[in-house]
Amino acid sequence: MKSANIKKYVLSILCILIGLAIGLSRPPGELTVESMRYLGIFMTAVLLLILQLYPAPLVALFACIAFVTFHVCTFPEAFSAWSGDTMWTVILMMIFATGIAKTGLIDRIAFNTLKFFPATYTGMVVAIMATSTILSPIVPNSYSKCAVLGPFAASVAKANNIEKGSKAAAGLFCAFFVPAAIHTMAFLTGSAMTFVLIGMMGEGYSFSWFGWFMCCSVWFAVNLVLTFLFILVYYRPKEKLNISKDLINRKIAELKPMNSDEKAASVILILSILLWITGSYTGLKPYTVAALAFCAMFLKGIFTMKDFQDMVPWGGLITLVASLLSISALLGVVGVNHWLASVAAPVIIRFVPNVYVFIILLCVTTYLLRYLECTGLATLAIIAAIFLPIGVPLGIHPFITLFADYLAMLVWNLSFHNPYYLQAEAVVDGLVTHRNVVSMSYAYMVIHVLGLIASVTAVRMPLVLRTA
């Protein structure tokens, strides 16, 4: 037996033993035997996720199975997320993004937007950021946006003799990556993860497109401006560059005339956006609109059954998201959330006099967890389990906690921290080195906190968010 396997099995046994020690402990306070079993299984799963001994989707799935096996809850409760609105919204949004991207419509939007900006380094940074921002509410998938904008940024750099690995090249990379992977969360339809966060808040919360954007608008504005300024100050090349517009014009000229699929996708896209924006008036939920769009694309032949089988990550992301949503929901079922609040809140409130300190503490904790090589969604689940029960008694809306947590999780201090970064890096043809790009990640850690502080000061989130 290989030494690596021996180490893996030893660590696995230790994780299980720690979980057993917790699960078999005498319940303190208001907790029950079922609560302790939940905490034991939860801690085992967390340790396995941190150590990355097994694929994250399998760990999360087996945790749900363990809850049923050890009588923590019923099967419907353990797998509640699989049949919920949130999970199918995520699936349908992924299908929608795949169908739109497949037609080439995103390329057409991107290149025709870029031609309106000045042919300078600053102009190109603005152009790339603007294009990425325009695509954000349209395409609910950061992978798709990075796949389009990454090669274009690389082409701009090559056409203007910007050296690979240089600061100037890193600036162009950050100009598309940060809006596409980070700022996109300001829009309800910008990422399927917005609906995951809504699901984690529990029942009773409903969001309009404008309501969500109002909550995020100040954070979005602060992040967009400070990111732009950081790129210009830190990444600006010493020598003056005149960016060739010929590249953009060539790209536009290379685009084929719109075919029937692209025209149909344009109509479906426009109608979907209008229905998402007017959802509070029409009563149509985001998943209903996405489902109608999927049906239309399927009937037109834009999206085929093969695409449905091959392009939707059934065995990976969806399994992980659904399982983590179920794990999070069970906190309330077994009473752990109330116990955490009663125990932790009186202690933490001494160190958390207001929402600002709460945000800083939450973000710093998230940043530290990422260095433990904990997977992103595992970090989200851990922080939510700790801070949601603490925040509510302190009058902090669940939106603030989950939004702050998820966006803090998306740092790329180490390349594997952010899956969108890995994909973006892979499509830019060696344009950047992580050493240069990581500076933006460290800057983002500060910018994110500043944006949150400005946001909770300027926007009264509980008044913007509606309860169902």
Domain spans, the chain: 1-78, 85-310
For the chain, 468 residues long, give each residue's pLDDT as a single digit of tens: 566 678 888 888 999 999 999 989 888 877 888 889 988 998 898 788 777 788 777 888 888 899 999 988 888 888 877 776 667 777 777 777 777 777 777 677 767 777 777 778 888 899 889 988 988 888 777 877 887 788 778 877 877 778 888 999 999 999 999 999 999 999 988 888 888 888 888 777 777 888 889 889 999 999 999 999 999 999 988 777 666 667 677 777 777 788 888 888 888 888 887 887 777 678 787 778 888 888 888 888 887 777 777 766 666 666 766 777 777 677 767 777 677 667 766 777 677 777 888 899 899 988 987 776 556 666 777 788 778 877 877 778 889 999 999 999 999 987 767 878 877 887 787 888 888 899 999 999 999 999 999 998 876 544 344 433
Specify the residue for token string 């057409």.
108
Residues 6+ apart with CB under 8 A from 339: 28, 29, 30, 31, 35, 389
Task: Answer yes or no: are the C-beta atoms of 110 and 157 closer than 8 Å.
Answer: no
Q: What is the per-residue pLDDT for 449? A: 96
Q: What is the per-residue pLDDT for 463? A: 39
Question: Is residue 307 within a helix (H) or strand (E), and if so which, with residue range?
Answer: helix 305-310
Q: What is the per-residue pLDDT for 377? A: 67
Q: What is the per-residue pLDDT for 170? A: 93
**Torsion angle of alpha carbons 390, 184, 192, 335, nearest 10°?**
0
104: left (phi over 0), alpha (psi -120 to 50) or beta: left
Distances 218 to 37, 126, 305, 395, 443 between C-alpha atoms, Å: 42, 19, 41, 20, 18
Q: What is the per-residue pLDDT for 142? A: 81
Q: What is the per-residue pLDDT for 183? A: 94
> Structure tokens of 88?
């199918």
Q: What is the per-residue pLDDT for 454? A: 92
CA atoms within 13 A on the CB side of 119: 11
Quick one: DSSP state of residue 314?
I
